[in-house]
Each structure stands twice: as structure tokens, then as C-alpha cells.
Amino acid sequence: MSKQATTISEEGFSATNEIRDFETTIDSNGEEGPDTLETLLAAYGSCYVPALRVGGQQRGVDELGKIQIDTDGELNDDDKLESISFDIQVEADVDDETGEEILERAFELCKVHDALKDSLHADASIDGDAF
């Protein structure tokens, strides 16, 4: 099984992404849509939500209720991500020890977290005069 997305840019720095029957616009300048890093941060937080829910269930908290994740990405001098932090709020009453166990398990389950590693570098090829 594989996942697929098609990214098309007619000009400039904005791109339309076709993902199954969905379409989204990402603009590296942040003018016509979220920029690339904002999109990555949103994907990370969105992936972490179900990981938290499953992690909670596996650690004895059947329902976390409402979850809010404020994701912050600190940039370095080259405007590249230097660090990412989550400030997470959940509706359920969770003690500190259980909360830490849930966080740890959620990182193990989160597929975006797993994808943010050096070994996952895209193999690429380029064909000129293609259109």
C-alpha cells in the first residue's frame, strides 16, 4: 500500500495539491494559503490527536474529550524549522504521571512524528520538456 499526492504549480510559489478527491493550496509565501511549514505543523498536530486518543485508551483514560493542540514551530536564521512544541489541553481529568505516559505512547503511534527523521529523504528524478 502507498499514499499519493500530486502537487501542481503553474507559476510562482503557490501549489495546488490533489489528494484523492480533495484539493488544497499551499503557498510558500503564505499569501494564497498556509505556507509549507504551517501545513507541516498542522499535519503533525492533526496526526497527534488520534495518537493521543489511542494512547489514552491504552493507558486507562477511555475518553480524553475535547483536545486542543497549540503547535509552535521555532525558526532558525534561515527560516527553517529548528524546533517544534505542542501545548496540549484535554477535557479529561488526567494526572501528571498518566499524562506523561499518554504523551510518550502518542509519539510512538503518530505517523507524522515517525516521518520526521533523516532517513526519510525523498528519492527524486526530473524530466525536462514534459509539457
- 63 and 23 assigned to the same domain: no
pLDDT confidence of residue 126: 81
- 54 and 104 assigned to the same domain: yes
Buried/exposed code over 52-83 (b: 16+ C-beta within 10 A; e: otherwise) = bbebbeebebeebeebebebeeeeeeeeeeee
- 53 and 101 assigned to the same domain: yes
Q: What is the pTM of this model?
A: 0.90
| Structural domain harbouring 88 | 35-115
- 63 and 103 assigned to the same domain: yes
Query: What's the rounded Cα separation, in Å, for the pair 42 and 36?
Result: 10
Residue 6 lies in a domain: yes
- 27 and 39 assigned to the same domain: no
Q: Which helix (H) or strand (E) holds 70?
A: strand 67-75
- Would you give per-residue pLDDT tens digits along the chain (131 residues)? 999 999 999 999 999 999 999 999 999 999 989 999 999 999 999 999 999 999 999 999 999 999 999 999 999 999 999 999 999 999 999 999 999 999 999 999 999 999 998 777 777 788 878 77
pLDDT confidence of residue 101: 96
Count of domains forming the chain: 2
pLDDT confidence of residue 86: 96
Residue with C-alpha cell 501528571?
96
- 95 and 71 assigned to the same domain: yes
pLDDT confidence of residue 128: 77
- 40 and 67 assigned to the same domain: yes
Phi and psi of 17, rounded to 5°? -115, 125
pLDDT confidence of residue 62: 95
- 52 and 95 assigned to the same domain: yes
